[in-house]
Amino acid sequence: MTLPAIGSSPLARQSGGRALLYASRTNRAPAAKAPSSESSKESVRQLSAGEIAGLIAAVAFVLLVGFLAIPLVKLGRTLDETSRLVRGVADGTTPLLGEVTTTVTSANAQLARVDSITAGAQQVTTNVAALSGIFAATLGGPLVRVAAFSYGVRKALTARRKGDVTKRVRTEMKRSKRGGVA
């Protein structure tokens, strides 16, 4: 048994497809109604359940694409802003790198000067140490002898003066004892 096309019968158009649904469940053809003058002019097709589900899925997909398009547009703007920022940083760092190169070159020149000064100071230190050794070897022995001799002379003169003073004090004491007793 062949079923008529969806929406082709006037009853299907009038009942909104309920007759077709009933007919498909019972394996019978829907009851036919006499064609009217209006129904022959326009042919309206009823959608099946699968077509409705497909239409709903398509609408849902369009809504999903619409919802996903908003973050993607925002992401695109963010990436544009980021690329502008990176371009600005690159434009700003190029002169800085040139200045850093100049500064490092200048610092290297100053370090070379400091190295030569340090080498000169080291040579002066070595010469002073050698001169000090020569002075100690040449003048150290005789100078120590002169210092020792002068110390001995000073000590002897101090002892002699002390002896003279002691002698004088003793003499005075003896006189005072004699003079007071006599």
C-alpha distances (whole Å) from 125 to each of 16, 66, 137, 140 are 116, 84, 18, 21
> Where do the domains of the chain lie?
1-46
Is the Cβ–Cβ distance between 30 and 4 less than 8 Å?
yes
Write down the H helix ranges in the chain: 10-15, 18-26, 37-41, 49-181
pLDDT of the residue at 19: 46
- Residue 3's identity, in one-letter code, is L
Q: What is the pLDDT of residues 58-115, one digit of tens each?
A: 999 999 999 999 999 999 999 999 999 999 988 888 888 889 999 999 999 999 999 9
Q: What is the pLDDT of residues 30-58, one digit of tens each?
A: 555 555 555 555 678 888 999 999 999 99
Q: In angstroms, rounded to a whole number, what is the distance separating the alpha carbons of residues 162 and 130?
A: 46
Assign 145 a pLDDT band (cuts: 50, 70, 90): confident
